[in-house]
Amino acid sequence: GLLATFAWLGGEMAGAPAARLLSVALFVVLATLASCSGGVFSGDTAAFAGLRKPDTASASPCPRLRSRGCGDASPLGPRRTQAAFTGVLGCRVHLSRGVQHGMRAVGQERVAVGKTLLGGRMRRGLGALAAVGSVKESKAYDGEQLRLLDADECILVNEKDEVVGSASKKFCHLMANIDQDKALHRAFSVFLFTDSGELVLQKRSDDKILFPGRWTNTVCSHPLHTPDELDDPPCPEATGVRRAAVRKLEHELGIPQGQVPANDLHFMTRIVYKAAVGEDDTWGEHEVDYILVGKGDASTPGLNPNEVSEVRMLKRGELEGLLQEEVRGEVMLSPWFKLIAQRWLPKWWDALLEGDLLREEDSGAIHKLP
Question: In order of start, what are the domains of the chain with their CATH numbers?
Answer: 145-368 (3.90.79.10)
Q: What is the pLDDT of residue 78?
A: 35
pLDDT tens, residue by residue, 184-194? 999 999 999 99
Q: Is the pLDDT of residue 103 over 70?
A: no
Distance CA 110, CA 132 (A): 19
Please compute the mean of the pLDDT values over residues 167-174 and round it to a whole number: 97
Q: Is the pLDDT of residue 337 over 90?
A: yes
Please compute the mean of the pLDDT values over residues 112-127 and round it to a whole number: 34
Task: Please report which confidence band the pLDDT of residue 138 belongs to, taking 50, 70 and 90 as the band edges.
Answer: very low
Q: What is the pTM of this model?
A: 0.64
Distance CA 172, CA 286 (A): 8
Count of CB atoms within 10 A of residue 86's CB?
9
Q: Is the pLDDT of residue 260 over 50?
A: yes
* Contact by Cβ (8 Å): 210, 285: yes
Is residue 173 packed enough to be buried (19+ CB in 10 Å), middle (13-18) or exposed (0-12)?
buried
* Mean of the per-residue pLDDT values of the chain: 74
Q: What is the pLDDT of residue 63?
A: 34
pLDDT tens, residue by residue, 12-29? 555 544 445 555 455 544
Task: Please report which confidence band the pLDDT of residue 364 belongs to, taking 50, 70 and 90 as the band edges.
Answer: very high
Task: Please report which confidence band the pLDDT of residue 93 belongs to, taking 50, 70 and 90 as the band edges.
Answer: very low
Q: What is the pLDDT of residue 81?
A: 34
Distance CA 293, CA 146 (A): 29
Distance CA 58, CA 71 (A): 7
Q: What is the pLDDT of residue 2?
A: 54
pLDDT tens, residue by residue, 283-325? 999 999 999 999 988 888 789 999 999 999 999 999 999 999 9
Please compute the mean of the pLDDT values over residues 357-364 and round it to a whole number: 95
Q: Is the pLDDT of residue 282 over 90?
A: yes
| CA distances in angstroms from 1 to 5, 7, 61, listed in the order given | 6, 10, 21
342 vs 91, higher pLDDT: 342
Those residues whose C-beta lies under 8 Å from the C-beta of residue 235, and which sit 6 or more positions away, are 241
Q: Is the pLDDT of residue 115 over 70?
A: no
Q: What is the pLDDT of residue 108?
A: 38
Q: Is the pLDDT of residue 207 over 50?
A: yes
Residue 129 backbone dihedrals phi, psi, to 5 degrees: -90, 10
* Contact by Cβ (8 Å): 306, 141: no
Q: What is the pLDDT of residue 11?
A: 52
309 vs 122, higher pLDDT: 309
Please compute the mean of the pLDDT values over residues 37-43 and round it to a whole number: 38
List, by residue number, the catalytic residues: 220, 287
Please compute the mean of the pLDDT values over residues 82-102 and round it to a whole number: 35
Q: What is the pLDDT of residue 52?
A: 33
